Amino acid sequence: MARPQMGDERREQILEAFEKCVIRKGVAKTTLSDVAKESDLPRSLVRYFVGNRADMVDLLINRMIERAEDGLAHLRPKSRPQTTQDFVDFLFENTFANDLSNNVVGELWYMSERDESIRKRLAAMYGRVIHLMVAQMEADGIGSSAGQRRDAANIILSLVYGQASFRELGMPGMAGKAAHTHALTIIDTLPTKSKKKTSNKETK
Amino acid sequence: MARPQMGDERREQILEAFEKCVIRKGVAKTTLSDVAKESDLPRSLVRYFVGNRADMVDLLINRMIERAEDGLAHLRPKSRPQTTQDFVDFLFENTFANDLSNNVVGELWYMSERDESIRKRLAAMYGRVIHLMVAQMEADGIGSSAGQRRDAANIILSLVYGQASFRELGMPGMAGKAAHTHALTIIDTLPTKSKKKTSNKETK
């Protein structure tokens, strides 16, 4: 690619327009022409940069994964190593607190009911979150077995997702801190061994 | 109505056909003609018995609520009063274990993103589940305050919903008993007072 930088900028511009359309109309009803109009770019360019709708859905998922991993990589205060609690805080406070992400996620979940490949990609995305949470617990010496850590991570992710979903419905009582506090209690009550606080090397 | 019994049967037949169409095509794409074809009844009759699509969505929600309340009313073994544990078991084992319900629920959640009235009806439905769970805890003398019971019920419902959602994605580890066991632990670790096992009068 001759001018990758330029390409990245345009792609970003187009994806942002695509996300706006998705929130307004849903993925199924969003066309390349809609995105062209929203981004103020010619349809041919939209197609050139992001391909067809299936490609856009792929890019959308990749973008969400990137955002999540980016957030997870930078969540700790710089003064100390990252802990499992930071991770849980991040899930409750950031991941599902973004209206745009929630809308896009809602779209993807809906599509996944009839699209095996989207279902698999979503499952991989959430599987990655669980994997990272388990790794963090292990680094913190939390939990006495891999199975125990995995169960805790599954439960916490379900809790985060359920709470965020009901909050979207506007249910009173789902916006409080109870679930978040409970998730931290789950971590706190797991057995710990030799509390090596983290096995990560400081990278900065 | 001259022959309400007959009407109920037809309505049931039509709603079943509607649910099948919804699972296959989604609510948005299901037409009265589809339902007529699926139920093998004339379109005019379908319209007469269930009205337009908005009415069908209403009936669908009512039906889900009826099913859930029916299940909740009959979940205890006849030999003893119903407990909070029965309630939690029911949520994990029945409510979200039905593929048809899950599909319909998925449709309704999706529609709720752009339809305020559906959002309110869904919120009321889940609010009702929480209300019943809280009442059961109170009857069992579980929890030291209304707020504590409500928090516990919110957390358990979120857990049930999150687990069911991830299971739908086909994620390994979400099909196990860990979340169910954890929910029972939440109930078990709440303070209890004077263990009056239930305040319900035996009704049989």
Amino acid making up residue B133 = M
Other beta carbons less than 10 A from residue A180's beta carbon:
18
**Same domain, residue pair A9 and A102:** no
Residue positions counted in chain A:
204
Pick the residue of A109, A133, A158, A186 with the most B CBs within 10 A to test the interface with B by mutation: A158
Angstrom distance (rounded) from CA B204 to CA B201: 9
Which residues does chain A have within 8 Å of residue B159's beta carbon, measured at their own beta carbons?
Answer: 155, 158-159, 162
Angstrom distance (rounded) from CA A171 to CA B119: 10
Residue at which a domain ends, from A33, A51, A69: A51
B119-147 residue pLDDT tens: 998 898 899 899 999 999 999 999 999 99
Q: What is the Rg, in whole angstroms, of the alpha carbon atoms belonging to chain B?
A: 19
Q: Residue B162: which of A119, A122, A159 has the nearest Cβ?
A: A159
- On whether residue A194 sits in a domain, the answer given is no
Tell me what percent of the residues of chain B surpass a pLDDT of 70. 86
Does the pLDDT of residue A139 top 50, yes or no? yes
Residue of higher predicted confidence among B42 and A7: B42
**Same domain, residue pair A128 and A157:** yes
CATH number (domain holding residue B31): 1.10.10
- On whether residue B204 sits in a domain, the answer given is no
CA distance readout (Å), B160 to A34, A126, B119, B175: 38, 17, 19, 11
**Same domain, residue pair A82 and A165:** yes
A57-101 residue pLDDT tens: 787 778 777 777 777 777 666 677 889 999 999 898 876 666 667
**Same domain, residue pair B23 and B99:** no
**Same domain, residue pair B40 and B136:** no
Contact between chains at A158 and B174 (C-beta distance less than 8 A) = yes
pLDDT band, very low/low/confident/very high, at B100 (cuts 50, 70, 90):
low
Q: Which residues, in sequence order, are bridge partners of residue A37?
A: none
Angstrom distance (rounded) from CA B97 to CA B22: 18
Angstrom distance (rounded) from CA A89 to CA A92: 5
Instruction: Give the mean pLDDT of A124-132.
Output: 90
Does the pLDDT of residue B57 top 60, yes or no? yes
Answer whether B110's CB lies under 8 Å from A106's CB: yes
Which of A43-47, A96-100, B55-59, B63-67 is predicted least confidently? A96-100
**Same domain, residue pair B16 and B71:** no
Tokens representing A34 are 């809609």
> Looking at chain B from residue 97 to 156, which residues have their Cβ under 8 Å from any Cβ of chain A?
103, 106, 109-110, 112-114, 119-120, 122-123, 126-127, 130, 150-151, 154-155
Answer whether A120's CB lies under 8 Å from A173's CB: no
Mean pLDDT rounded to a whole number for chain B: 83
DSSP, residue by residue, chain B: ---HHHHHHHHHHHHHHHHHHHHHH-TTT--HHHHHHHHTS-HHHHHHHH-SHHHHHHHHHHHHHHHHHHHHHT-S-TTS---HHHHHHHIIIIITT-HHHHHHHHHHHHHHTT-HHHHHHHHHHHHHHHHHHHHHHHHTTBSSSHHHHHHHHHHHHHHHHHHHHHHHTT-TTSSSSHHHHHHHHHHHHS-B-TT----PPP--
Answer whether A17's CB lies under 8 Å from A39's CB: yes
Chain-centre distance for alpha carbon A71: 9
**Same domain, residue pair A93 and A168:** yes
Amino acid making up residue A177 = K
- On whether residue B194 sits in a domain, the answer given is no
How many domains would you assign to chain A? 2
* A92: CB partners within 8 A, 6+ apart: A160, A163, A179, A180, A183
Task: Give the structural domain span for B158.
Answer: 53-189
CATH number (domain holding residue B130): 1.10.357
**Same domain, residue pair A8 and A36:** yes
- Phi first, then psi, for residue A80 (nearest 5°) are -150, 165
pLDDT at position B2 is 45
pLDDT at position A97 is 61
**Same domain, residue pair B82 and B38:** no
Angstrom distance (rounded) from CA B161 to CA A163: 9
Other beta carbons less than 10 A from residue A30's beta carbon:
23
pLDDT at position A200 is 46
Tokens representing B78 are 């006849």
**Same domain, residue pair A15 and A81:** no
Angstrom distance (rounded) from CA A135 to CA A146: 9
Does the pLDDT of residue B3 top 50, yes or no? no
Does the pLDDT of residue A135 top 80, yes or no? yes
